[in-house]
Amino acid sequence: TRSLAVFFVWLFGFSWTAILQTFLRPRLKCIDGELCLITGAGGALGRLFALEFAKEGAHLVLWDCNAAANEQTARLVRELGVRVHTYTVDLSKRQSIYETANRVRTEVGHVSILVNNAGVVAGRRLLDCPDELLERTLLVNCHALFWMTKAFLPRMKEQNHGHIVTVASALGLFSTACVEDYCASKFGAVGFHESLTHELIAEDLNGIKTTLVCPYIVDTGMFAGCEIRKELRSIIPPLEPLYTVQQSMKAILAEQQMICIPRLMYIPFLARALLPWEANVATYRFMGGDKCMLPFIKNIEMKTSNGHTKLC
C-alpha cells in the first residue's frame, strides 16, 4: 500500500541520516551560558565532563557524595573562569535528591543540561554480596535517574528546552557474568532513557534533547583487573577516560541520540538481537567474557579484607 511505501522511504531516510551523522562531522550546538548539572562530578569521568562543559562556556552544578573530590573538581573548573556550585548528595536517597534539587533551583537557577554520570558497582559474586550493596547499585545507577528527571524535567518542559544525558554502559546493551547488579542497573538505565526519549518525542517536545552514552570498560579503576581473552586485549583495550568523555561530548553537542564507545561495541549489541542465544554464548566464551570479571572481583575482595573499600 501507499502508506507502507511512505513508511519505508521515511525509515530509510532516517537511517541514512543517522549513518551520515555517525561518520561525518555534524554541526555542534552552542551551550554557552547554559546551566549544566553533573552527578558523580568527583570521579574521573565526572571531573572530565565538568572540564569539557566548562570549556564550552556552560555554568556548572556539581553533585557528588564525596565532598573533597567534588571540591577538587570545582577548583579545576574555576581556573577556567567558569561559575560553579558544589553540593554533597547521596544519590541512593530519593529525599536527598529532591531536597538538593530545590536548593539548586533557589540558589543557582534552572538546570537546562542534566548529565546523569554517577555510577557504582558492588564487585561481589551474587550469593556473596550483601543485599545493601546490591540495592545501592540499583538505587544509584537506575532509580536515581527517575528522581533526577522528575526534579529537573518539569522546567525543561515548560520552556521546551534542555538536554538529558544518561551515561550508561555497554553492559546495559549486553551482559557479562558475575556483575548481575551492575548489568541489571545499566539495562534499567538504557530502558529508562529510551522510554523517556519516546515520551518527549510523542509530546512534540523537540527542544528537549537526549543522549545515551554506552562506553566499554573505562580505565578509571572502577573495574580494575577486568580482562578479556589475552589475544583480544590489544583490539579492545580499556578506554582512556579523556577519550571517552571527548567522544561523548561530540555526541552531546551534535545532539546525537546514542553513542557506543568504541564503535566496535555496536557489533555485540546487534549480534545479541540477531544471532541465536547459543551463538552469542559461544562468541562470549571465546572472548573470555565468562571469566573476565573474576580478577576484578578478587581485587575487590582483597581491598575489602584490607579495609579499603569505599561505599561512595
Asked, for residue 10, whether it belongs to a domain, the answer is no
Spatial distance between the Cα atoms of 45 and 217, rounded to a whole number of angstroms: 12
Asked, for residue 103, whether it belongs to a domain, the answer is yes
Domain extent for 181: 28-306
> How do residues 94-143 score in pLDDT, each as one tens digit?
999 999 999 999 999 999 999 999 999 999 999 999 999 999 999 999 99
What residues are annotated to the active site? 182
pTM, full prediction? 0.89
Asked, for residue 100, whether it belongs to a domain, the answer is yes
> How do residues 13-60 score in pLDDT, each as one tens digit?
545 555 555 556 678 999 999 999 999 999 999 999 999 999 999 999
Structural domain total, the chain = 1
Judge contact between 62 and 50, C-beta under 8 A. Answer: yes
Which amino acid appears at position 98 of this protein? Answer: Y
Spatial distance between the Cα atoms of 147 and 145, rounded to a whole number of angstroms: 6
Asked, for residue 12, whether it belongs to a domain, the answer is no
Asked, for residue 4, whether it belongs to a domain, the answer is no
Q: What is the pLDDT of residue 283?
A: 85
Per DSSP, the residues of 125-140 read -GGGS-HHHHHHHHII
Asked, for residue 15, whether it belongs to a domain, the answer is no
Residue 49 to residues 19, 104, 148, Cα–Cα distance (Å) = 26, 19, 18
Name residue, grid cell 524535567.
153
Asked, for residue 228, whether it belongs to a domain, the answer is yes
Rounded to 10°, the helix 44-55/67-78 angle is 20
Asked, for residue 18, whether it belongs to a domain, the answer is no
Residue 215: cis peptide before it, omega within 30 degrees of 0: no
CATH code (residue 47): 3.40.50.720
